[in-house]
Amino acid sequence: MSNTENQIIYEKKPFPTKVASIGGILTALGLLLGVIAYFVEPLRASYNLIIAFMFLSSIGFGSLFIIALEYLAGAVWSTPFRRIAEIFALVLFAAFILAIPGFFNLQRIFHWSNPEVLAKDAIIKAKSPYLNTNFFIIRTVVIFLIGMLFYKLLTGNSSKQDKSGDQALTKKNLRISAIFMPVFAISITMLAIDWMMSLEPHWFSTIFGVYYFAGSFLAALAVLTFAVIKLNENGYLVKGITKDHYYSLGALMFGFTNFWAYIAFSQFLLIWYANLPEETFWFITRSEGSWKFVSLGIILVRFIIPYILLITQPSKMDAKRLKLAALWILGSHFYDLYWLIMPTYSKSGCLIGWMEFAFPILAIGIVILVFGLAARKKNLVAVGDPKLKRGIDFRL
């Protein structure tokens, strides 16, 4: 096409330490506040910890999903910045660290793990082959080990390719991605069921895993979009990333905003229509008192505003608009997780204090810190990828 030179122009620019230090400061601040919170109100702090944990898992698993999706679909447009998603997948390791304090507070957080409750409650007893402390911990550990294994396999091959340029590695990663997909589907569903749905052990919704997946994929896309635009503007990425690439990222965010709304509404409609008491109480908790406004707000914050921000064609190409939309979607993911998790802690009404901000600061700090540290060591572009040239030439 019009791009006649066949040379890929990428030289690794030294990545500023500033990013890692900002991340470090935020992480330290969040950690300090979190520890204080734990001594002030341990239960409330634990619930907030789950929000931060689920957020980081979203970024980690969602980024892995984006990588695997690119290989499986044979997509070229995302190849120039696949490495950014690979770096964000590292957040997986940090997320697992946040799960560990949760393991020590299981009895406090999860109603079903309490032996006294178990003895009295027939429903929980019937669910106890799945919902028991040992199996719970095993599941989480296995899910994260599998995630880390696939991270190692996929990004390891990708890094090897930087030096060797071996095309067989792409083929290898394609196979690994194909195995990863079903594993990913099961693990993210289990993660959502274990850490969020089982907070109300009597409640069940078969679409819950998909709901969490929709939010996770959106969050991973948003953080990727923001980082790609910011890095590209400052010249850290390969030359030739254009509005066509931006448009594709924006279109995916727009599409999955709709997907999220579709799934969220499907969950609500079926429960509302069937009107069975064992299902409705979850929504009733969320529609009473001040939770009502939080629940209505989620329609506005998570669906209508991103929808309007991204609906027109020029808005998906506008760097400024995309960055705003990406940050908004990340914020709305926190909102969504807060809405999923906190009503179980405070049934009487919504609760906002310094604690509800401390843990998001921790989570965001960790994401920035991980990225800042990894970006200094790694190439920010998969220079050996055979699809890179086509990816740069991608036009709508």
Partner 1 sequence: MMENKKLFGVTGLFDSPDAIIHAAEKISSDGYKQYDINTPYPMHGMSNAMKLKPSKLGYFALALGLSGTAIAFLFMAWVTNFDYKIVIGGKPYISFPAFVPIIFEVTVLLASVGTVVTMLLLFFRLPNNSHPLHDTNYMKSVSVDKFGVIIEASDKNFDLGKVKSLLTELGAMDISEIYYADEYTSKYKVYTPKFLGFLAVTAVFICAITYYTLNILLYQQPFSWMMNQAKGKVQSASVMFNDNKAMRNPVEGTVAQDYIPYPFKDKPEEAMASLSNPLLPDKATLELGKQRFLTYCSPCHGNFAEGDSRMNGQFPVPPSLHTDKVRNWPDGRIYHIITEGQNLMPSYSSQILRNDRWAIILYIRALQRALNAKEEDLK
Q: Which residues bind partner 1 (CB under 8 A)?
A: 1-2, 4, 244, 265, 268-269, 272-273, 275, 313, 394-396
Least CB distance to partner 1 at residue 285 (A): 18
Complete DSSP assignment for 211-237 = HHHHHHHHHHHHHHHHHHHHHHHTT-S
Least CB distance to partner 1 at residue 240 (A): 13
Residue closer to partner 1 (CB basis): 95 or 298? 298
How far apart (Å, rounded) are the C-alpha atoms in residues 143 and 188?
8
How far apart (Å, rounded) are the C-alpha atoms in residues 187 and 255?
23
Residue closer to partner 1 (CB basis): 135 or 265? 265
Least CB distance to partner 1 at residue 247 (A): 11
Complete DSSP assignment for 264-328 = HHHHHHHHHHH--HHHHHHHHHTTSTTHHHHHHHHIIIIIIHHHHHH-STGGGT-HHHHHHHHHH
Residue closer to partner 1 (CB basis): 175 or 395? 395
Residue closer to partner 1 (CB basis): 184 or 394? 394
Residue among 366, 223, 349, 340 at smallest CA distance from 290: 349
Least CB distance to partner 1 at residue 366 (A): 38
Q: For the chain, percent helix, then strand, then coil, each to nearest 5?
A: 80, 0, 20
Residue closer to partner 1 (CB basis): 284 or 396? 396
- Rounded to 5°, the CA angle 42-44-47 comes to 110
Overall residue count recorded for the chain in this entry: 396
Residue closer to partner 1 (CB basis): 290 or 312? 312
Least CB distance to partner 1 at residue 196 (A): 23
Least CB distance to partner 1 at residue 77 (A): 10
